[in-house]
Amino acid sequence: MIRRVLASASPRRREILATLGIAFDVVASDVDEDALGVGLPPVELATRLALAKARDVAAREAGFVLGADTVVVAGDAVLGKPRDDVDATRMIARLAGAAHEVITGVAVVGGGFCEAVAVSTRVWFRALDAATVARYVATGEGRDKAGAYAVQGVGAGLVTRIEGSYTNVVGLPAAETIALLERAGALEGWP
């Protein structure tokens, strides 16, 4: 039997995998995201962090390890998870009325396989006034998410358009993850 391990504590990533019918054990990575990606271009940052998380857990766990990391890019700024509600307010205000990129790096390590890919999705926010931004931030749903919002929650009301993978914006691009797991030999007869 093939053992698969998700190197993430993200409930959203677990939900996407469960929806796809793929069983995973969950072992959170100990990688310090802030220390690893200083000054890297966004695609390289996302893939490097995904690979680091997968390698970290693979060093402790047997099987195929899936790592992922999502960043939001607005103009030339990379938006990770907000430090606090003030930071979240700044991020949401920056995204309001404009388009941004959501980039997720996905990596699989195990069984002699090691590969990472990046998926980019373009997202447009409607114009938001300061009161709407404050009310959204007060919901708290974006506190642990890159870009300070959750497209699968109340944050869906901020988004006017998505070009690319919806599940990528949630935190794990489903089709690309399946393809990567298949290349690794980590899926038998899916679906």
Name the active-site residue from 69, 76, 84, 144. 69
Residues 6 or more apart whose Cβ sits within 8 Å of residue 147: 72, 74, 79, 91, 95, 100, 102
d(CA 59, CA 45): 21
Active site residue 69: yes
User: Roughly what angle, to the nearest 10 degrees, separates helices 11-19 and 174-184?
Assistant: 70
Residue environment code for 163-174, b if the CB has 16+ CB neighbours within 10 A, otherwise e: eebebbbbbbbb
* Residues carrying an active site annotation: 69
